[in-house]
Every structure is written in C-alpha cells, then in structure tokens.
Structure 1
Amino acid sequence: MAEYGSASMWGELRRVLVRRPLPEDAAAWEAYGWRDAPRVDAARAEHEAFCALLEEAGTEIVVSEHDPGNPDAIYTYDPTLVGPEGAVLLHPGKDGRRREPEATAPVLEAAGIPVVGRVALPVTVEGGDTVWLDESTLLVGIGYRTSPGAPESLRALFSGVEVIAFDLPHWNGAAEVMHLMSLVSPLDRDLALVYPRIAPTRLMWLLAERGISVVEVPDEEFESMGPNVLALGPRRALALEGNDETRRRMERAGVDVVTYRGDEISRKGDGGPTCLTRPLLRV
C-alpha cells in the first residue's frame, strides 16, 4: 500500500503528520506572535483529543516532536508540501520558522516518505499559501509569507502540475499572517468553503469555471478561522468549534462536520485544523 501521495485537499485522509505541543514552546509565544501564552497541559490535552478525532475518521497519525522551543511547529502544514512523488521542503517567509523544513525531513523519511525537492532563497513559500484544487492543479497565494517567485519554483518541483497564483490582500499587514487557506478550504471535488469578501476575484472565477460550488463563511466568523476546515474525505470536515453558522451552512450543503476544541492550540496561535496537520496520504 502507498505510504504517501496527497495531491488533493478533499480525498480520504489516510495518513497525516502532527507535532505535539512541547513544554519548551510556551516560553516563546510572544516572539512568535501568539495572542497569549499556551497552557502546556491544556494544549497537550486539546491536541490529543484532536488526534483522537483523526483516528476515529480512519487516519493514521505520524507524531513528531521536532524543533522544540518553536510554538509554531505544531502547525505542520506550513514547512512541507507532499505530492505523488514525495515531500518538498518549503522555505517559510516567517523568520522563526526557517528551521522547520529541515527539522521535519528526518521525520518524513522515517515514515517512508522521500524528500524529493527543496525551495531555496530568494524564494519563500509557506504551506498555508498552497491548495491542491485537484490532482493536477495547485493554487498558490502570493503575499507576505510567499514570494512572487514561488509559482515558478513550484512548477519546477511538481512536474506536470498546473500552478495558478493569486495575489493575497494586505489585510492587517506583514505582522498578521494572511494565507490563501485563510480564505478557502476545499470540501469535495465540486465544493469549497470560501470567505468571498476578500477572496481574489480570479479565484472566484476559477471556482465557477471548474464547476465548484461555494459555501460562504459569514463576516462574523472570518477572524475566528471559519474558512479553515480540514476535509477528512469528500464532504466530511473537521472544524474548530464555535463557528456555528459556518457549520450549519456546510451541513446544508451535505457536509458531515465534526468539531474540536482549540482554545490553546488554535485560537492563541491563529492556526486551524488544516494548519495542525500535514496530509501525507489521501486517496
């Protein structure tokens, strides 16, 4: 059986990488721009409950404790990108996260996932700005964390893949991250969750051209990470609790939604369920 291959965002999630919150992480919360210091025991409990939901959905979990002292390291979506051939180590735009790709490499290789490429300076790419729309289409957001050279670099690393770039809004500037996945989460081949008010117009055109229906996130649930949900499979989603109207809208579109508590691991660090996971295998 294949151990890796994840060129979609909505296929059945069979294998995923997570990184536990560590006691060493909490002291660096201000340096990494967290909203408040995470309570270590509570964060560990939330993370374990989050992982239990993944396992209940039939997902094998690869657990890491890489890069201690970096609270952002729990957001394993950002330092790598996995495709059919293996993992590509990205180059985060946030200075404090620059160690993460290489720190993740031994974990991936121990799990049987080859490292097949690396993004190098002057290009920066963070995983949160990459979205597999389908097996042959990779969307890339250009902003403060992912540089204009990213699309060309990713085309070279993922042969035969159409890479489509979008400019991201300034929002509140470089100090407050705005990833492409802050705006859109695929839920199925023909369905996506989107916050349309500041989504790139060309992204909305592309979704319409591809026959992808949109579930709209309401204004009041955008900043609480309403658009950031993890597809466990087609029309099956894991979402941060509290965004009740977004959940109801997904359910009306036929999506089965389960929620997790993320006061420590999500709200304090502004990282939702996609951020907390690096999908390794989807089918």
Structure 2
Amino acid sequence: KTLLIGHGYRTNGEGIAQIKKMLAPFGVEVHAFDLPHFQGPSAVLHLMSVLSPISHSRAVVYEPLAPIRLLEFLRSRNISWLTVNDTEVHTQGANILTVAPDVVVLAAGNPEIEGKLRESGVTAHIFNGENVAVKGDGGPTCLTAPLLRR
C-alpha cells in the first residue's frame, strides 16, 4: 500500500508526519513531494492538481508542474503516464476521478486528454463540469471523498 502526498501550503511537514504515523500500523508507505509555488498559495492546492492515477501502472500528469522526484518515483515503479496540455490543465484535464482501473470520470472540454485516454483503452465518462471545473476551479475528484481504493 502506498500513499503519495503533496507538501505545500495546505499540507505542511507536520501534517505529513502525522499522516505517516497514523498509517504506519497499516503498512502504508507514505511518499511526500514538494508542490510548486507556481502562482501563489491557492494555485496548486494538492498533488491531484498535477497527478491522477488511472490504474496501478498508469497515470495522467501535468508535467510542467510535476515535481521531479514525483516523476522519478513513477518511473521507479514502472508507472507510465499520459500528459495533459497547457490549455486543458486549466479546465481540470489533470483532475480525473478513477472509479476502477482504467475507468475514469473527466470534465467535458478536455478533448486531447480524453482522446489519449480512449486511445490507450481507458473508459472515460464525461460530465459537464463547467460550473465546477471552470467557474469553481475543481475537477471530479473535488466532488468526492474516497475512503478506500483497491
């Protein structure tokens, strides 16, 4: 079991230490990655702003903001990724909810990453997220609270 967490303005070193301590009895490996400052404290709120796992061996990544150590970690685990372009990251193209391996929910208005997903065999369910994804600056993962993923 592995947990990836972003170290940023919302989640500091103390918070990460507490999560590690809480999850240690369950055998969960916790790996923290520094988030970029980018455009200030409200720009990159969490790791899911740049990374969405879509299966055990594949993810969607917005490379320009991805921490180098995160990309190295993915490579070390043989996890490949599809890249989101500079336009679609602003319409939550990197914020994808995986409901099962290779089955995802994606906000409408992201045709390039949608095409990449479908071409690679991923089933993509599209929803009109204009009021959430564009106006509210949140993607499908922001509408959920997963308790357990297998």
TM-score by length of 2: 0.93
1:144 counterpart = 2:9: yes
8 A Cα contact 1:169 1:178, kept in partner: no
Runs of 5+ in structure 1 lacking a partner?
A: 1-135
Deviation string for 1:221-252 (max 9, x for gaps)?
11111100101111011000000001001112
8 A Cα contact 1:215 1:253, kept in partner: no
Q: Find the structure with the greater CA-based Rg.
A: 1
Q: Take 1:240 and 1:158, find their aligned partners in 2: how far apart are those partners?
A: 32
Q: Take 2:108 and 2:59, find their aligned partners in 1: how far apart are those partners?
A: 19
For residue 201 of structure 1, the aligned residue among 45, 68, 75 is 68
Q: Take 2:63 and 2:7, find their aligned partners in 1: how far apart are those partners?
A: 17
Name the counterpart of 1:248: 115
SS in 1 for 2:90: coil
8 A Cα contact 1:238 1:257, kept in partner: yes
Q: Take 2:148 and 2:41, find their aligned partners in 1: how far apart are those partners?
A: 32
Q: 1:236–1:181: structure 2 CA closer, same or farther, 3 Å change rule? A: same
8 A Cα contact 1:171 1:178, kept in partner: no
Task: Among all aligned residue pairs of Structure 1 and Structure 2, give the percentage whose two residues are the same amino acid.
Answer: 43
Match of 1:138, as an amino acid?
Answer: L
Runs of 5+ in structure 2 lacking a partner?
A: none
Q: Take 2:61 and 2:42, find their aligned partners in 1: how far apart are those partners?
A: 23
8 A Cα contact 1:240 1:260, kept in partner: yes
Match of 1:155, as an amino acid?
Answer: K
1:15-26 correspondence to structure 2 within 5 Å: none
Deviation string for 1:117-175 (max 9, x for gaps)?
xxxxxxxxxxxxxxxxxxx1111101111112122111111122111111100111024
8 A Cα contact 2:6 2:47, kept in partner: yes
SS in 1 for 2:13: coil
For residue 190 of structure 1, the aligned residue among 54, 57, 64 is 57
Report how many aligned residue pairs link the two structures.
148
Q: Take 1:164 and 1:199, find their aligned partners in 2: how far apart are those partners?
A: 14
C-alpha displacement of 1:177: 4.3
8 A Cα contact 2:102 2:121, kept in partner: yes
8 A Cα contact 1:139 1:165, kept in partner: yes
C-alpha displacement of 1:281: 4.3
TM-score by length of 1: 0.50
8 A Cα contact 2:95 2:106, kept in partner: yes
Q: Take 1:184 and 1:263, find their aligned partners in 2: how far apart are those partners?
A: 21
For residue 47 of structure 2, the aligned residue among 176, 180, 185 is 180
Q: 1:199–1:172: structure 2 CA closer, same or farther, 3 Å change rule? A: same
1:238 counterpart = 2:105: yes
Name the counterpart of 1:154: 19
More helix by share: 2
SS in 2 for 1:227: coil
Name the counterpart of 1:267: 134
Match of 1:149, as an amino acid?
Answer: E
C-alpha displacement of 1:178: 3.1
